[in-house]
Structures are given as structure tokens and as C-alpha cells.
Structure 1
Amino acid sequence: MTAVLTLCLSNLRKKKFHNGMIGLLILLSTLLLATSITVMMNSNNLFTDMHKKTNGSHEMLEMLKGLHDPDQVYQWWNKQDGVSTSKLLPFRKVGGMKKEGEPSSTELSSLTLYMMDTPERPFVVDELLFAQGKESAVPAKGEIWLPTSIAYLYDLAVGDRLEFSTGNKKFTLQVSAVVVDIPFGAPFPTDARIWMNHEDYAQTVQGIEGKEQYMLGLRYEGYSSSSSYWDKFEQEMGTPFLETKISLEQMSSFYLIINKIIGFIMIFMGIVMILVALFTIGFTISDDILSNYKTIGVIKALGLTSKKIASVYLMQYIFISIIGIVPGLAISRLLSDLIIKNTLSSLKGIPVPGGLAESLITLIVGIFVIVMVILCVAYYANKARSIQPMQAIRFGMSETDNSKLLKRFGAKQNSLLAFGRAPLSIVLGLRNVMKNRKASILMLLLATVMSAVLVLGFVLLYSIGNIKKTAADWGYDSSDISLVVVNSSSFPKGEVDQLMRSDTRIKNIGWLGYVNAVVSDGGATDLDVDTVDRKSMNFSVTVLDGSYDEVGYTTIKGRNPKNKNEISIGIRVAKQLNKDVGDTIEIYIEGHKQSLIVSGIYQSISNQSESARIIADTLQVSDPDYGDYAAAFINVNDPLDADTIVSEIGEKYKDSATVATMQTLLDATFKQAFASIILPMSFMGLLFTAVTMVIIYSISRTNIRKESKTYGIYKSVGLTSSRIRWSVTRGIVAVSAIGAVLGMVLGVYFLPVILRSIFLDYGIADLPLIINWGAIISMACFTMAAAGLGTWASSRVVARTSPRILVIE
């Protein structure tokens, strides 16, 4: 045992730098794996914990159109055993707000705000958690509670005064608290609930023309039983629920999307990193055995068994693994907290759950890494078993390898890489690559992974940053200008429409409205063989007075509706209803049953593809007077006129509508996604760049030291140090170039395909990425530059050492 320990310590001392690199690889792989799993688990746990703490609703009913009596719906659900209900929450909608004393912000003014008549707490269902400000039963007069989803995103805090408009009048309220509002608190908010004092509500917004609207939260003792309650509701009420119903999956989805993406990438990187670490360990052990073949033969001749020689390597790498794993697990805790706080900003101020479960996960990750290292070391160290002492002492290698080497020397003069048959610098560089094949494979793998990481990160960030180019593929329109109606009662729709159509700068205009639709079991036709066990499905329907194609909406199959008997549906609606292009769908729209033909299927991230599209003529069959349009999409002949038109319309109709270019609105929606993903992607890109450079430096230095005698001879016959170094560097750069090309293919085509599995849950079947080949090739060149710098730095020993010493070594 003393001999084994002595040899182990000797190996640790002799190769401090190389052992340090392996320890760093193990640390980083542990860090990435533990962080990714912790991020995904804690994100889900944080939402689940908050949902449970607030007694959160499983379904949120929004009664907007008056198709049901709100009190009757509330009373029915309040009497059901196994269901808890919130209080019936009256509200009115207003469009946007601004900070008092500051210019109007497009982001804030484009929000849809639900001005809530706050009942006295506790709410029973969907209780509010106070992140800032003093907790109270209701907001005081002149004060409001603001949700974290918009407070943190737009830098609003307790004490700020916010200005609202009902179209014909403005009013200002002060923020007294910032609250976590789970159903409306997800990232990328387009709407939010503003909690008002009852007197302020009655004096300011209750007088808005139109009917008061209501919300009702439902929480089941067992969420899986919801379908049976809705069947009972339909039987007793004589109709399915015809208004808007938001499910728990819809409420939770955007809390988790960014962390799912980051977690996926980090898990992939962590697995790749541990594979690189294992390959490096295997390469190091194999190289060490070959370099010390004669020494090991002598040691075995003196009586040390193969098992004990293998235990030297096991002891060495178990020690290195422990040194790498422990800090990796510790740092992963800090890094995962940082990522979660960055991506779940709406829950900032709420402690991240941890404890036994998280500690157990990190422990399992640590055990997994060390077991993989032990198995790898045991496999490669077992090669020492085949060393025969007599052959090792005589040849310095096995007799078989010696024979192969002699044959190779005899064949060199006919090789294409022989001196005189190719340029000298190419021969030197490629001989270094071919002679050290395992090292070259490792460097090829590193270059491939680094290139794939950089390319994927760039493609994601570039696609989000230039979302306007692919807005239609994400389910948005791609028009130039968006007009949102703030107060329909005071908005002169006819006047605006006439003004737009008479303006020669404007190419076309389309008016957009929203209604609710229901497909129930009772609405199935005889042909719907798969609808026996299907529950009712509620989803939003877009109504367009104009052409979907002109305003930029697209489909992934079929086409947009053009006739009044046609409908285009989202991919999740198509999947749940088992419908395809050409099928007929029986659907309740605004309480009226219609039979429509599916003309197309589309994808949309904004509503997770749980929606449909019809033209205004379809709705006017049952409602000839329909004119409740919420927005208008405008295209201009010259994009340079867009800002001028926005300014003109915005100034003229500022009390009843907000106007902005589509680029501005998309930037406001996606800036949070960009800000959340840029930090972890940049971290991983820099991490892999540094690791690649350091490992290539270490491997190249080992190879150069092994070939020191050869390079000494080259210098003795007149080759300069610079020429030798350039030759070696060119060979490694050539290897990294192959890896960079493979990495480009992985980053552009393979990894996004895997990433699509995450986006499919959000209604995106075809991930719309923008491929900028010029920048992608630059990423590949960066990989080659990193490999070249690492190799050039490692070859300094050739320049610093005299030919005589190199030959002696």
C-alpha cells in the first residue's frame, strides 16, 4: 500500500497542470449538470410552492361578454363539494398607464390592465403575496397594489404615482404595495391586474360604458376531476361554459419556458463536458502507460501486481474528482439561484425553495460523476495488465507494437507526408496530428462542442433580437403599425377607418376583434369517433375585418380563412379535437353554434396555439351588428413613414387608443426573454472557449514534450523555432476547422430540433430561427482562433530551449 500511495503522490506532483485541468473539467461538468437540474426543478418547485401557498386557482373563468349570469355561475360553483372558489371579482379594462411626470412609454401604454374592485382579504383562492410595501386587507383610498410582473420589468416601485385613462378622463393613483399575483404574474406580460380601492373603482372606472366584467377562480381538491364537474355544469345549465376559461397549464407555462430552455442547454453542455473529461482521463492514462512502459515493466518485475498499478490511477483520479466535485456542487447552488432570480423576476423577493430534495439531487449528481470517473479509470488502467516486464524492458513497448513501428518507419519514405513530397510546414503539422491520434480526436471533439455552443447561443439570441423578421412564424402579425383601442365607447372606429383608407401612405388596414369559442362533447358529429372521452374546450377566436394574409398572419398547413364558412385553428386545438385541413368542426361562438370547415392550421406562442381565426363575415351570420374591434393592423407603402403616421394618429386619438410600430411592441414583449437568456448563454460560451483553449494548450504541451528530441534535430539542421511552431499550430487549426464545421451543423440543424420539443408545449411546432451564415462562420473562425492560440502558447518550449538540450531530453 505504501508503494501505491507513493506512486499516486508522484503522479499528482509530476503533472500538476494537467491534473488541474482534469479537475477543472470535472468541476465544470458537475457545475453544469447540478445547476441545470436544480434550475428546472426549483423553477417548477417555486411556482408549485407559490401556487400552493396562495391557494392558487386551477382554472380562471373570465366572464366578459355577458353570455352567462356571473352570480348564477358563482353560486353554482360555490355549492360544489371538492371545489373552492374565489370571490366574484368585478373589473373593467383600460389600456395602459404612465408614470406621473414622465413621458408616455410605449411598453406601459400597450399593456391591457384589469382594474379590479378589490374585495377584503383573504381571497380564499388566489391570495396575494406582498413582495414590497405594507400588507393590508384592501388598498387605501388613492392607492393601488401593483403586480410584480410589470413592477420589476418596468422599474416601478412603492411610492410611484401612475396615471391611467378611461378615454374621457384621467386619474392618478399611488403604488402602496407590489404583490405576487400568480394567475397574471408570468414573464412577458401583455396584461396585468391592478388592485384598486372600492371607492376609487366606483368613482373612476365603474362608470365606463358597457357591462361590468367578472373573474372567478376555481381550485379543485383533485385537479384531474375538473372534467366531471364541467360535464355536470353543462347538464345542469343546459349549455357548455361559453366564456373564457384559463387552465393551470396556461397560467404556469410562461413561468417556466426560459428556465426550460436554459436547463436543456446546460444539461447538454454538462453531459458533453463530462464526456470530454472522461475522454481526457482515458487519453492521459493511456499516454502515461505508453510513456512509462519500461518503468511499469520494471515495477512489475519487482513484484507490484497489475491490480495495484491500476489502483494507483484509481486513487489519483478519485482524489482529483473529489477536489473538483465538492466546489462544483457548492458553486451550482449559487449559480442556480442567480439564474432563477434573473429568469423569474416576477417572483423576486420570494425565497427559492431548497432543503432536502435539492441537497439529494446535488448529491446524486456528485455520485454520478465520481462513478463515471471510476469506471473510466478502471477501463483504461486495465491496459497495464497486458504489459510484459521482459518486453517492456527490452523494447519500451510490446513486441507487437515494436514490429508495427518498424514497419511504419520502413513505409515512411513512400508516404505522401514524407519530406520532399509535400511542403515542409504541412508535413510537420500533419505528422504531429497523425502521430497523436487520440489527442487529435479529443481536440476535434472540443472544437466541435465549442462551435456548437457558440452557434446555438448566437442563433437563439439573434433570432430573439430580430423577432420582427419572423413575427408571423411565431403567430403574430407582421404589419407595420398596431393600433390598440383603449376605450371602445369613445373610439370613433368609422372615422379612423375612413381616415386610414383615404391616406395614400397607407397600403391596407385590418380590424381585429376577439371572441370566445367552445367545442363540447355534445357538439361532436357522428364522424368524430375520437370525441367520446373528450371534455369541453374553450379557446379564443380572432375575428378579422380584412385579409389575414395582408396583415401578415401565416399558417403551417393549409391557408387562412377567406370565406364565412371557414376557420383556421391552432395546432393544439387541432391535436385535441383531432382535426385536419378540410375537416368540419362544430363550434359555439358567442353562444351560437356553427359548422365550419378547417381551412388551415397555424402555430402561435402568445396563446400556445389554443386559438382559432375567422373572418368578420362568419361572426356576422349570428351577430350582424358586431363591431367590438380591439385593434387595427396597418401596413404602409414606405416603412419610413411608419413613425410619422404613429405620431399623427397617437396625438389625434390619444384618449381612446394607443398606437405603436410593430417593432416597438415586439421589443417590449421579448426584451425580457433576451435579457434572461443572454447571461447564461454568454457564461456558457465563455466557459467553453476558456476550457477549449486550456485543454488544447495542455494536450499540445504534452505532445511537444514527447517530440522534443525530434524538434531539437529539426532546429539543429536549420529550421527556425517560429517555423516549427507555425507548422504545429497549423496542424491543430486544421483539426479544429473540421470540428468547427461539424459544430456549425450541430448548432444550426441538430440542437434546435431537440429544442423544439420544449417549444411544442408552447404551441410552436416549427421553431422560427434566423440563420445568419456570415456571423455563424465567424463563430467557427473564433473556434479555430481559440485552438490556434492554445497551441501557439504551448509551443513556446520549442523557442525557449536550445537544440542541444532538446536532443538530450
Structure 2
Amino acid sequence: MSNAGLAVRYVRSDLHTNPGAHLALTALLLLSAFLMATGAMVAERLVGSIDRLFEIAEPPDFLQMHRGDLDHAALDAFAAEHPEIEAWLIEEMLGFDGAAVGWQHAATGASGDLADSVMDNLFVTQNQEFDFLLDAEGAVPQPAPGQVYVPVAYQQSYDLAVGDRLTVRTDTGPHQLQVAGFVRDAQMASSMSSATRFLVSEQDFEDLEAAGGGAPEHILEYRLTDGSSAGDLQRAYEADPDLPKNGQAVTIGMIRLLNALGDGLVAVALVLGSLVLVAVAVINLRFVVRGTLEDEVREIGALRAIGISHRQISALYLGKYATLTLLACAAGGALAVPATAGLTQAMQVNYAAAPAGAATVLVPVAALGLLGTLVLLLCRQALRRVGKAPVVGALVGGSMLSERQTARRARRGAARARRHRLAAYSGTRVNTFLARLDLRADLRQWALVPVVFALLSVLMILPMNLLSTFQSPRFGTAMGAPEADLLVDLQFSPDLEDTRTGLLADLERDDRVTEVSVLATELREVPGEDGWETLRVQVGDHHDAAVQYLHGRPPGPGQVALSVLNAQRYQLAVGDTLPVRPAGPVSSTDQASPAVVSGVYQDLTMGGYTAKLPGEPNPRAAGYAIYARVTEATDPADLAAEYADRYPTASVIQMAEYLDQTMSFVTSSFRVAAGLALAFALVVAALISALFLSLQLKRERQRMGVLFAVGFSRREIVTQMRTKALAAVAVGVLGGTVAAAAGGQHLVDGVLVAAGLGITELRLFPQAWLVYGVYPALLVGVGLGVSVLTTARIRSAQMSRWLRG
């Protein structure tokens, strides 16, 4: 018979002989392949969707948002001085508070407004040069008078449809618009952008502008011949004192990162989960291979004795595991296709449907190929024992060990027997004592269970810890925001100072408000690589804000606190000095005063580039952030609604709702990841427990037969096996829980630093009762439940036959 025919017969026979073990192992490999392929496909689809959106929409390589007057001559001069600018434009916008924008469903008559949204609602017209807003088909829509195209985020949040009505409340009355479609925005797709754009006609924009009630804003946008030089252009822009800077500056790299971060986290979580499962699969595969070789040692010896080489024997076993791996990769890849379609459905709504290309097939195939290669290489390494096994020892002694190894193992076994003689045991729990002795004697075999359950514990706990952290009210203080119940955001407007004065007076008189702090947003200038650069600062009293600092403390007189990204940008640490001067055309080097860096904090707002200065607000402040804490009997949401009605030009938001909506791009992703991690961990725990215990029962048949022969009951033998299983599972779960609590912080910090978001250290806020109570109990319960089911067969087994092994 040919080698191929022999291999096929062997694989078929072995799969039929041990169907349970091979089925469990194949299922584990299938889950690993499924996660690996799904993660790779989601990542490829995400990159393709964003690339497709950017290709059609042509977002700017650098933009500067601004509120206030423009110096057109300075902008023209700046563009003329920089030949790398391919095109540039000024986009005019009108910002309306969410409470001023109402909607009504045409089909049902249901109505509401956008008051519960923390996004800035900006009405714009379609650009003609670049930075286009796109409809569902990827076309550049041109709304007719009376029509509006609504952001897809609001379509999903309020279940809007074409034909619904949108009403904008202006100073002269309501302005009616009909929803003609929904737009994708390459520039403001992420919830972290804090703003979103509505597309209207030129006529409606002029009518809204003339009607009053909207805050005028501008975006100064630049397309470059080489997008990689956006950072250089930003530094040159900020170094020019005549250019408008009353707003956030953003480069194409940050736009792409924020767009990709939400769905990208799902892909990263799937790949990381797959790597954990691959590690579990590899550990179990090694255990299965070693166990199979030990069980079939005499057959291997016979094959060696009749002249079959160890390479041919290894090829037989490798063929079997190659077959299982191939089946698992094929099935996992097939299942990944519909799973990817479900996971990327929202992605295609927000971005664009990426066209299928060679990468669509090659990326998941490469991921599966890498997984299969890794598994087979480790199988091959484990099968090296076949070539080292002595033929006589395999045939006569039933051992893969050499004479020297056998003697050494016998000496160790005798030493353990002398230390743990049953006759010397004086306790009453004989079954527990025997279980403990077995665990010590077979530690290398039983170590598989705690290692696997430790990995599964980490897989379950880390995504949930991240989810609870981003949902925690304390998350804001770790990201540079003061601890508060209400946030009042006042941006540039003609009556800015009057609004601030009146609102502060009302808050101070309100018995429901306990603490009020005011931070003014102002502009300063500091020395950079190409001269003086603009630095956006928050001015006020920072000592009572309860903001968490990575290093140092809040700023006092003559001091400044910097965000992480600004500290890295200017290469400063606590104790260093930074010259600071007022911003504007009248600025001079003589006005600069040295400020000592008092502390470094983390910040996600304004692209992560912020600073804090002590002192009283300047009357020329660009805006104010007012934080208030309320009494326990007061509902912050009701109070926010009351002050929003009283001051229409102020954005009054419940702080918890602000953080929830701003971080929704992260929390929605981690909610998916946490659910998948929990489900897969429990399934894998059941598979591994069943696989290991089935093989272990087969291996220990002779020992259990001896125990039965000397007087131990079936119930006692079952108790010993279940005790060993429960102990191994509990140790693994405990170890994994401790590892996730102690080391998970460093792993998360490393990923966030690599993302470049301005977060270098993320303090986790876990739901302790869930991740350190319920989750470990679930894993232990699965392990115990499977052990009960698996060992139940002992009660009906013919124990006398087990004496023969």
C-alpha cells in the first residue's frame, strides 16, 4: 500500500477511534480560525471603507476651525507663501443648539428634537472644490431649496427617514426643511469630533443666516500635494500671528485615526482574542499529541520494528493534525464571511462600501495560513519524540523514554512515594489526599488546565474592564475634565460675556447648585520649531477640579500644566520652563514670561493639545466651560434642561451624558468585544475541560481500576477526579484574575500609547463584583459542570477491565 493510502486509512481509523477528543480539538481550532479570519476581514474592510470614503469625499489634509472675524488678506498671503498647498477653501457654517432643531416623522407624526445630543449641529452648503458630503450611494448631493441632508448618526439615533420634516428654530420663527437623504462626513464621522454637519441649499443657508439664531463658524481647509507634510503646514500656520485660530486645528492623520478607532477596536479585540485562543489551541494540541503518542507507544514501536522510519510515522500523525487544521481553517473562514458582514454593516453606513479586491481574499487567507503554519510547526516539534523513542522500550515497556530517562523518572517516583505514603496519613479525607498526590505526581499534565483557564480569564476580564472604564463617571477626571454634574459650554458669540455673567449669577443663587468653577478658553503663544506657535489654554482655578495628573500637580501662579501630547511636542517635563506670551498681532517677545511646568495630564479634547493656566479670565476669551455640582436631591438632567431653555446660546449638558456620547465610538466597540470574549471564553472552557478530562480518564483507567480493586467505591473514585479538576480550574481562574487585575493595566497602556491619542496611562475602573466575582464563578462553574458530566461514565464502567489499562 502506498504511503498516501496508509495515511488516509490511519487518519480515518484514528478519527473513528477517538471522536470526542478530535471533535473538541477541531472545534477549538475552528474558533481560533474564525476569530483570526474575522478580525483580519474586519480590519481590511475598515481600511477599505475609509479609503473609499476619503477617495470620494477628499477631506482636507489640514483644517482650522474658527469663530469670529476673518482676515482674508492674511489667508491669501499664507496660501501664496506655501506652494505645497494644492487647494484651499473657507467653509461657512451656522451652528444651532440641539433644542432648536426639531424633527417629525412623516409616517407616524411622532416628533422630538436634538436636545439630548451633545454634538454641535452645523448647517453648511456643499463644497465645490473638495471635502464633499456624500449620500448613501457615494454621490455628491446638491439639495434643492427646502431640502436637507441629515448626518447618518442622527438617522440611526432618531430613526429618521426620507420625507420626514426638520424644523430649525430661528430668531424670526421656524424654518421648515424636508429630509431628502443622509450624508456621510469624512471629516466628522467620529463622535469625538464633537460636531456634525447638515447639508442645505445656498438659498436655505442664506435664509437661516438672515433669520438669526445660529452661531457663525468657519473651517479653513487645505489640501496639500503631499498629505504627509500636514504637520509642517500646521506649525507654519500657528506661527503666523495674523491667521485665525479661534478653534481646533486637525490634520488628516487625526481624522483618519478617529474614524478608524471605533470599528478598529473591534478588529483588534478579535485578533487579540484569536491569539489567546491560538495559544490555548497550541497548548492543548501539544497535550493531545503527547497523550496520543503515550497511548499508542506500542503501535509506534511495532511500526519501527518492521522497518518503517520515524519520519514516515511522524508523517502519519502530522497528516491527521494537518487534516483537522485544514478543516478548522476552512470552516472558520467560511463562518467569518457572514460574521464580518454583520460586524461591518454599521461601518458601511457611516463610511462607504469598500469594493472587493485582491486584499479582500488575500488578507484572511494569509491570516488563516499563518495560523495553520503555526499549529503544524508545533505539531512537528512535538512529534520529534517519535524519532527518539527506543524500539525495545516502546514494545516491551510501553514507554517513549530512554533507559536513562526511565530510571530517572522511577527514582523521582520512589522519592515522592516515600514522602507521601498513604500509611502515614492520619486524616479522614483520604480522597482529597489522594487527589492532591495525583496532582503533584502528574503536575506537568494537569498544568494544562490552570494555564488555559488563566488565559480565558484574561480574555474575559480585559474587554469588560475597558468597557466599564470608558462608561465610568470617573473617566472624565482621568482625561483632564473636572469632576462635575453639569457642563455649560459657552462659545464665541456677540453676547458671550453677558451670557456668562447672567448664567454665573443664576448658578450662584441656585440652592440646588453646590459648587461652580469657571474655565476660560484662551489663546497664548509659545516658542516652537518654526517660531512662536498658538497654544490653546484653559484659564481659571484648577486646584478644586479633582483632575488626575500623571505627573506633578495643578498650576499655581507662574506655572502651567500641559497635556501629554503638548508635553511631548515641546519636550518638557515637570520643573521645566516654557515661555508664554499673549496671542495676537500685538504680541512681542518682550511680553513673554517664563512659566514652570507644574504637571502633566491626559486629555482627549481639542485633539489632545491643551494646557492649563491659573488666573482670572480675559474679557477677550474665546469661550468658557462652566462646571457645576448639584445636591443629591437634584436631577442633573432636569437642571440642565431648565438652564438650556433659559440660555439658548449656551450648551448645558449633563456631564455623564456628555462623556457617554463623546466616548460612544469606543463603548459600542468594547460592548461587542466584551460580549464576544465572554461567549468564546465559556465555550472554549467547556471544550477544553471535556477534551482534557476525556483523555485523562483514558490515561488513568488502570490506576482507577486498581483503586476499585482495593476497595474504593465508584463514588470515591469519581470524587477524586472531580476534586482534581475543580482544584486545577480554580487555580487557573484565580491566577488569570490576578494577572488581569495586575498586568492588564500595562497591556492597555501600551496599546493606547501606540494609538497616539494623548493617553499614556489609563486607570481602569472595573465593575469588581462582575469581573472579579461573577466571571470567575462562571468559569469555575463551567469547569465543574463539564467534569461532572464527563466523570459520570465511571459509575457505569466495567472497572475490572480497566485493570488491564
The separation in 1 between residues aligned to 2:141 and 2:781, in whole angstroms, is 62
The separation in 2 between residues aligned to 1:504 and 1:231, in whole angstroms, is 47
Per the alignment, do residues 489 and 792 of structure 1 end up closer, same or farther by CA in structure 2, a change over 3 Å counting?
same
Contact residue 280 and residue 455 of structure 2 kept, 8 A: no
| Structure 1 range deviating more: 373-382 or 96-105 | 96-105
Paired position in structure 2 for 1:114: 122
The separation in 1 between residues aligned to 2:102 and 2:278, in whole angstroms, is 50
Per the alignment, do residues 412 and 79 of structure 1 end up closer, same or farther by CA in structure 2, a change over 3 Å counting?
closer
Structure 2 letter corresponding to 1:262: V
Q: Among residues 763, 767, 786, which one is paired with 1:768 in the alignment?
A: 763
Q: Among residues 544, 550, 568, which one is paired with 2:544 in the alignment?
A: 550
Paired position in structure 2 for 1:65: 68
Per the alignment, do residues 791 and 128 of structure 1 end up closer, same or farther by CA in structure 2, a change over 3 Å counting?
same
Structure 1 letter corresponding to 2:732: G
The separation in 2 between residues aligned to 1:595 and 1:344, in whole angstroms, is 51
Structure 2 letter corresponding to 1:500: L
The separation in 1 between residues aligned to 2:231 and 2:296, in whole angstroms, is 71
The separation in 2 between residues aligned to 1:48 and 1:591, in whole angstroms, is 40
**5 Å matches for 1:596-607?**
596-597=594-595, 598-607=597-606
Structure 1 letter corresponding to 2:521: Y
Contact residue 61 and residue 215 of structure 1 kept, 8 A: yes
Paired position in structure 2 for 1:758: 751
Q: CA deviation at 1:228?
A: 6.2
Q: Among residues 16, 35, 39, which one is paired with 1:36 in the alignment?
A: 39
Task: Quote the sequence identity (%).
Answer: 16
Structure 2 letter corresponding to 1:395: G
Partner deviation per Cα, 1:511-562 (whole Å, 9 max, x = no partner): 344344554xxx45xxxxxx4xx58755543344xx3333444432233334
The separation in 2 between residues aligned to 1:652 and 1:230, in whole angstroms, is 39
Per the alignment, do residues 84 and 515 of structure 1 end up closer, same or farther by CA in structure 2, a change over 3 Å counting?
farther
Structure 1 letter corresponding to 2:562: I
* 1:339 pairs with 2:343: yes
| Structure 1 range deviating more: 408-417 or 158-167 | 408-417
Q: CA deviation at 1:373?
A: 2.5
Paired position in structure 2 for 1:528: none
Q: CA deviation at 1:353?
A: 4.4
Per the alignment, do residues 256 and 210 of structure 1 end up closer, same or farther by CA in structure 2, a change over 3 Å counting?
closer
Partner deviation per Cα, 1:575-607 (whole Å, 9 max, x = no partner): 111123341234553555443513332111233
| Structure 1 range deviating more: 676-685 or 264-273 | 264-273
Paired position in structure 1 for 2:265: 261
Paired position in structure 1 for 2:107: none
Paired position in structure 1 for 2:501: 494
Paired position in structure 1 for 2:449: 443
Contact residue 745 and residue 763 of structure 2 kept, 8 A: no
Structure 2 letter corresponding to 1:494: T
The separation in 2 between residues aligned to 1:704 and 1:596, in whole angstroms, is 75
Contact residue 125 and residue 218 of structure 1 kept, 8 A: no
| Structure 1 range deviating more: 677-686 or 351-360 | 351-360
Paired position in structure 2 for 1:386: 388
Paired position in structure 2 for 1:780: 776
Partner deviation per Cα, 1:596-629 (whole Å, 9 max, x = no partner): 5133321112334212223563x63xxxx33654
The separation in 1 between residues aligned to 2:675 and 2:41, in whole angstroms, is 19
Structure 2 letter corresponding to 1:292: E
Paired position in structure 1 for 2:227: 223
Per the alignment, do residues 645 and 808 of structure 1 end up closer, same or farther by CA in structure 2, a change over 3 Å counting?
same
Contact residue 266 and residue 673 of structure 2 kept, 8 A: yes
Paired position in structure 2 for 1:742: 735
Paired position in structure 1 for 2:369: 367
The separation in 1 between residues aligned to 2:793 and 2:486, in whole angstroms, is 63
Paired position in structure 1 for 2:329: 325
Per the alignment, do residues 145 and 200 of structure 1 end up closer, same or farther by CA in structure 2, a change over 3 Å counting?
same
Partner deviation per Cα, 1:58-111 (whole Å, 9 max, x = no partner): 011323232x41365157537964533354322222221333453455432x32
Q: CA RMSD in A?
A: 3.2
Q: Among residues 457, 466, 478, which one is paired with 1:460 in the alignment?
A: 466
Contact residue 479 and residue 635 of structure 1 kept, 8 A: yes
* 1:416 pairs with 2:420: yes
| Structure 1 range deviating more: 55-64 or 96-105 | 96-105
- Three-state SS of the structure 1 residue aligned to 2:422 is coil
Structure 1 letter corresponding to 2:734: V
Q: Among residues 268, 283, 304, which one is paired with 1:279 in the alignment?
A: 283
Per the alignment, do residues 464 and 332 of structure 1 end up closer, same or farther by CA in structure 2, a change over 3 Å counting?
same
Structure 2 letter corresponding to 1:439: Q
The separation in 2 between residues aligned to 1:540 and 1:792, in whole angstroms, is 64
Partner deviation per Cα, 1:703-738 (whole Å, 9 max, x = no partner): 112222332343455534333223212212212222
Please, what TM-score do these two structures have when normalized by structure 1? 0.88
* 1:173 pairs with 2:168: no
The separation in 1 between residues aligned to 2:382 and 2:361, in whole angstroms, is 32
Paired position in structure 2 for 1:661: 654
- Three-state SS of the structure 2 residue aligned to 1:84 is strand
The separation in 1 between residues aligned to 2:715 and 2:133, in whole angstroms, is 69
The separation in 1 between residues aligned to 2:216 and 2:503, in whole angstroms, is 26
Q: CA deviation at 1:22?
A: 2.3
Please, what TM-score do these two structures have when normalized by structure 2? 0.88
Contact residue 4 and residue 309 of structure 1 kept, 8 A: no
Structure 1 letter corresponding to 2:702: K
**Structure 1, gaps ≥5 residues long:** 525-530
The separation in 1 between residues aligned to 2:551 and 2:412, in whole angstroms, is 61
Q: Among residues 50, 54, 57, which one is paired with 1:54 in the alignment?
A: 57
Contact residue 57 and residue 125 of structure 1 kept, 8 A: yes
Partner deviation per Cα, 1:376-428 (whole Å, 9 max, x = no partner): 22222221122333333322225445545654665565333636625222133
| Structure 1 range deviating more: 467-476 or 188-197 | 188-197
The separation in 2 between residues aligned to 1:168 and 1:128, in whole angstroms, is 29
Per the alignment, do residues 662 and 293 of structure 1 end up closer, same or farther by CA in structure 2, a change over 3 Å counting?
same
- Three-state SS of the structure 1 residue aligned to 2:605 is coil
**5 Å matches for 1:704-743?**
704-743=697-736
Partner deviation per Cα, 1:340-379 (whole Å, 9 max, x = no partner): 33467522xx213442123222232232222223322222
The separation in 1 between residues aligned to 2:510 and 2:233, in whole angstroms, is 53
Structure 2 letter corresponding to 1:581: V
Per the alignment, do residues 592 and 227 of structure 1 end up closer, same or farther by CA in structure 2, a change over 3 Å counting?
farther
Contact residue 558 and residue 601 of structure 1 kept, 8 A: yes
Q: CA deviation at 1:682?
A: 1.1
The separation in 1 between residues aligned to 2:262 and 2:208, in whole angstroms, is 38
Partner deviation per Cα, 1:652-671 (whole Å, 9 max, x = no partner): 44x44443422232233334
Contact residue 569 and residue 611 of structure 1 kept, 8 A: yes
Per the alignment, do residues 268 and 247 of structure 1 end up closer, same or farther by CA in structure 2, a change over 3 Å counting?
same
**Structure 2, gaps ≥5 residues long:** 105-109
Structure 1 letter corresponding to 2:501: G
Contact residue 479 and residue 601 of structure 2 kept, 8 A: no
Per the alignment, do residues 595 and 711 of structure 1 end up closer, same or farther by CA in structure 2, a change over 3 Å counting?
same
* 1:797 pairs with 2:801: no
Per the alignment, do residues 680 and 229 of structure 1 end up closer, same or farther by CA in structure 2, a change over 3 Å counting?
closer
Per the alignment, do residues 516 and 64 of structure 1 end up closer, same or farther by CA in structure 2, a change over 3 Å counting?
farther
Partner deviation per Cα, 1:450-507 (whole Å, 9 max, x = no partner): 1111111221122223x21231102223211223448955674333322221233322
Q: CA deviation at 1:192?
A: 1.1
Contact residue 461 and residue 674 of structure 1 kept, 8 A: yes
Paired position in structure 2 for 1:675: 668
Q: CA deviation at 1:193?
A: 1.6
- Three-state SS of the structure 1 residue aligned to 2:727 is helix
Paired position in structure 2 for 1:131: 136
Contact residue 711 and residue 798 of structure 1 kept, 8 A: no
Contact residue 481 and residue 661 of structure 1 kept, 8 A: yes
Per the alignment, do residues 678 and 136 of structure 1 end up closer, same or farther by CA in structure 2, a change over 3 Å counting?
closer
Contact residue 4 and residue 312 of structure 1 kept, 8 A: yes
Q: CA deviation at 1:113?
A: 1.8
Q: CA deviation at 1:262?
A: 3.3
Per the alignment, do residues 694 and 471 of structure 1 end up closer, same or farther by CA in structure 2, a change over 3 Å counting?
same
Structure 2 letter corresponding to 1:468: P
Q: CA deviation at 1:574?
A: 1.3
The separation in 2 between residues aligned to 1:80 and 1:11, in whole angstroms, is 73
